[in-house]
Amino acid sequence: MNKTRREATVTISQPALHRHWLPIWWQAHRAVSARVPLAVFLRHQVAQHMLRLSRLGMRLPLEVSLEGDDLKFREVSPVVPEAKPQAPSTEEVSREWESELARRHGPDALAELTGERAKAGRLDEQMEEGRAEVDRRRKELDTALASGQAASLGERAASANLRPAIPSLLPGVLAMSGAVLLVLAEAWQLAVPLLNANGIDTGDLRVEFLRVPAQVLLAVAMAFGSTAGLVYLAHVAIGHGSRSFQEGTTGRRRATHLGVSAAACALSLFVAWKLGDLRHESSVAGVALASGGSGSAPGTLPFSVFVLMTGLLPFFSAVLFDAGRAMLVRRAGCVQEARGFERSLRAREEVRERLEERVRLAQLALFELKVQRAGSDVAVRRLGWLGEEATRAAASEEWLEGEALARAREELRAALEADRLAFLKAAGRAGEVGTGGPGRTVVLFSPEGPVTGPDLSRRAA
């Protein structure tokens, strides 16, 4: 556009038909000397001027005629197009700049514009599908949260009070440890008379174990077996006794449980009586031997106390064992419930995370489509700007062309007037009058006819 405007400016600024007065006078003088009519002379001059303008790329839509001795100019078509009665529509403007875009930048630019518009249409459809996908994923997430299939963000903190409490492990461990210690104490108290009966000195048990290990191990094993039997009998007595007092137990079943419990207690106390008697006799004998045979046993426990301890320790051990086992079982159940609650909460959190990830992926896909759509809009705007620039350049060129034609028309008028006046002056000096003829109209030039004229130089020669 700048090049065209510069060329048009140069064309306008430099007169196309500028001539010196001497060639004008000489041509007119030769025409008068050759007795050439004014119409023929001017027709030749018009042809020469039009030929020079055509070489410059200008063709005037102008008809030149001679009425008598006066020149008349008539425009065959207007140089500047008439204004439209109404403003062009958007479609007409779009078609106009698209045609200018194709004319100035080639068909590839128009093909690129068409492709970008088609791409924008496809992206709009994909964006609608992407928005529908995002809405569908969000609806799935909301439905899962409402139905409880997925855990909300604050549900873990809110459900801290609902999580099953896990009791401490210490009470159960202490109860089981106490039961084990009582069993060991009972077993040791029962092992002492058995070892003494076999002639084993319990005061120096290491030496005796090295001397007769089998007898020591068998005595200890028997003591532990007896202790286990006592503990088992105590456990049976306690278990059946507690079942007899449970709700829903009939009289016969209650009597059976009570009988079994009483028998187990009696058997346990009988075994404890016998073992206590054996333990007491061995203790008395040992003390008497230690005191030098005086027959007194000042360091021994009373028989009744020892029997009572031997009979009650298994019951205490059974009670502690049952209590510790119950506490450990209850704690294990609480741990399982807490783990189940945690697994359920974690599973629902995973469902929420999975649904949120789907929502994020759908949003990311929609964002990518928006980026592509924005890029397509930028490309369309760039091509549209090029088309508008092409339209403005075409309008500017059209205006410059009109200005150049108007300037050329005025120069043609001035040149022909100069030729006419020079011819009339030369004819007046030569004494010739009435060269044009009054009232006669001669067409000197018409855009629809050929540009011809006589060769005055040859005729003069």
Coil, helix or strand at residue 356: helix
pLDDT band, residue 417 (cuts 50/70/90): confident
Tell me if 331 sits within 8 A of 169, measured CB to CB: yes
Residue 82, pLDDT above cutoff 60: no
Place of tokens 């007769």: 212
pLDDT of residue 449: 60
The rounded distance, in Å, linking the Cα atoms of 313 and 169 is: 24
Q: Looking at residues 72-84, what average pLDDT do you find?
A: 59
Q: pLDDT class for 129, splitting at 50, 70, 90?
A: very high
Task: For the chain, give the percent of residues with pLDDT over 90.
Answer: 10
| Inter-residue contact 28 to 419 (CB < 8 Å) | yes
Q: 229-238 pLDDT, tens per residue?
A: 878 888 788 8
Give me the chain's average pLDDT, please. 76
pLDDT digits (tens, 9 = 90+) for 281-315: 666 555 555 444 444 444 455 666 667 777 777 88
Question: What's residue 364's pLDDT?
Answer: 94
DSSP secondary structure code for residue 150 in this structure: S
pLDDT of res. 452? 43
Q: Confidence band (pLDDT; 50, 70, 90) for 135?
A: very high
pLDDT number for residue 354: 92
The DSSP element (H or E) to which 73 belongs, if any, is strand 70-75
- Identify the top-confidence range among 120-134, 180-194, 297-311: 120-134
pLDDT digits (tens, 9 = 90+) for 422-450: 888 888 877 655 445 555 677 777 776 65
pLDDT surpassing 60 at residue 455:
no
315 close to 303: Cβ distance less than 8 angstroms: no
3-state helix, strand, coil in the chain (%, to 5): 75, 5, 20
pLDDT exceeds cutoff 80 at 16: no
Look at residue 407 and tell me whether its pLDDT is greater than 70: yes
Q: For the chain, what are the domain ranges?
A: 2-86+396-460
Which H or E run contains 119?
A: helix 107-147
Q: What is the pLDDT of residues 145-168, one digit of tens each?
A: 888 888 887 777 777 777 778 888
Q: What is the model's pTM?
A: 0.51
CA 14 to chain centre: 65
Question: CA 445, CA 452: separation in Å to the nearest integer?
Answer: 9
Q: CB of 451 within 8 A of CB of 50? A: yes
Looking at the predicted structure, is the pLDDT value of residue 367 above 80? yes
Beta-bridged to residue 66, according to DSSP, are 71, 442
pLDDT confidence of residue 31: 80
> Any idea which of 16-20, 81-85, 443-447 has the lowest mean pLDDT?
81-85
Nearest to 116 by CA among 391, 385, 372, 387: 372
pLDDT of residue 453: 40
Q: Would you call 168 helix, strand, or coil by DSSP?
A: coil
Place of tokens 């108007």: 406
Please write the tens of the pLDDT for every residue from 385-399. Answer: 888 888 888 777 777
